[in-house]
Amino acid sequence: MSLWLNGTAEKPCPSKTSVQSDFPSFNLPVRETQLSCASYVAGLTESDQRGCAYNVYKVSMLIKKAADIPSSEITSKSLYMNRRKFLAGTALVGATAVAGARLGEVWSPSDVVEANDKIPGIQSSPLSTTEKQTPYKDVTNYNNYYEFSTDKYEPAGLAQKFRTRPWTVEIDGAVKKKQKLDVDTIIKMAAPEERIYRHRCVEGWSIVVPWVGFSLSELIKRVDPLPKAKFVEFTTVLDMTQMPGQRTGALHWPYTEGLRMDEAMHPLTLLCFGLYGEVLPNQNGAPLRIVVPWKYGFKSAKAIVKITFTEDQPPTAWNDANAREYGFYSNVNPHVDHPRWSQAKERRLGEFLKRDTLMFNGYDQVASMYNGMDLKKYY
Ligand code: MTE
């Protein structure tokens, strides 16, 4: 249980976080955020309104905290890290001396940032965007990771002690070389590249992240799928001793995702083990995740333990939870709305005004894979 500024105990979120997530407005004054939340709430169902009312409260409480001003925008990362370490130290030494309100601030998950090891030999990639990157602090403190929490600010803290070694990835299904590979063997299969990608969540927010990894095709080529393999299924880790969210029924665990074979082989599809030049933080999916930049973020599964080649389209966690709202394909598409909200616009984290959503999230090079497909039907 964590404490908020006024010492109120945190309540469990009563609805899925799609509502809350539209308000990553770190830079907004409290009043403006409350206004935009309020107008948003007006268009929702009664139960969503209850969820949002809670979240409005919580978001505005979070915004009041000085620590939520994105320091990485006004200080260098190393200076920022040192300040964080100092804060953590202060918390340890002075925890008993500070008031309850201050305690809530010091121990808030969004205060937890750890420097990870640098990844050597990273090459740049022509597939990267030159758009402004979302600050490190925001990429690593605003996470969808339901195995830890449905609250985006919590995985950063809750995943701190998550064990990512030893870690193996099983390769099975319609493949010649069925095997269990150590994650460090996989990471060494090809040279690491920095891929600066736009990342668009189905909930309507987006970020720009300098991921590190290489094309998933590098791994697929080495394990030799059989010609009958038409899809790839990703199974992620099941460990409720380490992942408190798995003790809830938020989704059917383990989280699974999938791609069609041509999508998995597309050079943009990234097998990812780092960001910002460093080993992937736990809350972002360490030690190994997928990044599919032209699809909504939930297709980019974190903490992968198994890759299965299948003849049939595999079941996936969000589709399983609500097939009407979350399709198997889930290509970013401004013309196909989510049943409960428009996808025509998105909010880049830290920006006030919304921007237009781009078809395939701006990755036009994937369009030919969907020639002749009705993307309203195959959403
Ligand atoms: N993978 C797992 N295992 N569990 C999750 O809850 N959330 C998805 C995706 N991968 C999720 C996951 C969603 S909804 C998004 S938007 C992205 O992870 C968020 O990635 P990020 O936290 O690195 O921004």
Q: Which of 18, 207, 300 to mutate to test the pocket of ligand 1 (most atoms within 8 A of CB)?
A: 300
Ligand 1 centroid to residue 239 C-alpha, Å: 17
Is 38 among the domain residues? no
Q: How far is CA 143 from CA 93, 104, 109, 283, 284, in A?
A: 29, 20, 11, 7, 7
Ligand 1 centroid to residue 127 C-alpha, Å: 22
**Residues paired with 197 in a beta bridge:** 209
Is 172 among the domain residues? yes
Residue among 227, 199, 194 at smallest CA distance from 211: 194
pTM for the whole thing? 0.76
Give per-residue pLDDT as tens, 54-82: 333 233 222 223 333 333 333 334 433 43
Protein residue closest via CA to atom 24 of ligand 1: 143
Which contiguous run of DSSP H or E holds residue 38?
A: helix 30-42
Protein residue closest via CA to atom 5 of ligand 1: 145
Is 315 among the domain residues? yes
Is 19 among the domain residues? no
Cα–Cα distance for residue pair 202/333, rounded to 1 Å: 10
**CATH classification at residue 351:** 3.90.420.10
Is 198 among the domain residues? yes
The closest-lying atom of ligand 1 relative to the alpha carbon of residue 245 is 6
Ligand 1 centroid to residue 81 C-alpha, Å: 24
In a 3-state reduction of DSSP, which class is residue 36? Answer: helix
Protein residue closest via CA to atom 10 of ligand 1: 301
Q: How far is CA 94 from CA 90, 91, 99, 191, 312, in A?
A: 6, 5, 10, 45, 57
The single-letter DSSP state of residue 359 is: G
Is 194 among the domain residues? yes
Cα–Cα distance for residue pair 223/295, rounded to 1 Å: 25
Which contiguous run of DSSP H or E holds residue 289?
A: strand 289-291
Question: Tokens 């030159």 — which residue?
Answer: 130
pLDDT at 67: 33
Task: Please confirm whether the linkage preceding 293 is cis (ω < 30° from 0).
Answer: no
Supply φ then ψ for residue 182, to 5 degrees.
-70, 140
Is 161 among the domain residues? yes
CB atoms within 10 A of CB 303: 27
Q: Tell me how far the alpha carbon of residue 161 is from its chain's centroid.
A: 18
Q: Find the domain containing 130 and state its range.
A: 117-370
pLDDT at 115: 66
Cα–Cα distance for residue pair 311/321, rounded to 1 Å: 22
Q: Structural domain tally of the chain?
A: 1
**CA angle at 73 for the pair 68 and 79, rounded to the nearest 5°:** 90
Cα–Cα distance for residue pair 329/202, rounded to 1 Å: 12
Contact 37, 25 (CB under 8 A): no
At position 153, the amino acid (one-letter code) is Y
Give per-residue pLDDT as tens, 7-62: 222 222 223 333 333 333 333 323 233 323 333 333 333 333 333 333 332 332 22
Residues of the chain short of pLDDT 70, as ranges, are 1-115
Pocket of ligand 1 (CB under 6 A): 143-147, 201, 236, 255, 284-285, 297-298, 300-303
Is 40 among the domain residues? no
Ligand 1 centroid to residue 90 C-alpha, Å: 32
Protein residue closest via CA to atom 19 of ligand 1: 144
**CA angle at 144 for the pair 20 and 42, rounded to the nearest 5°:** 15
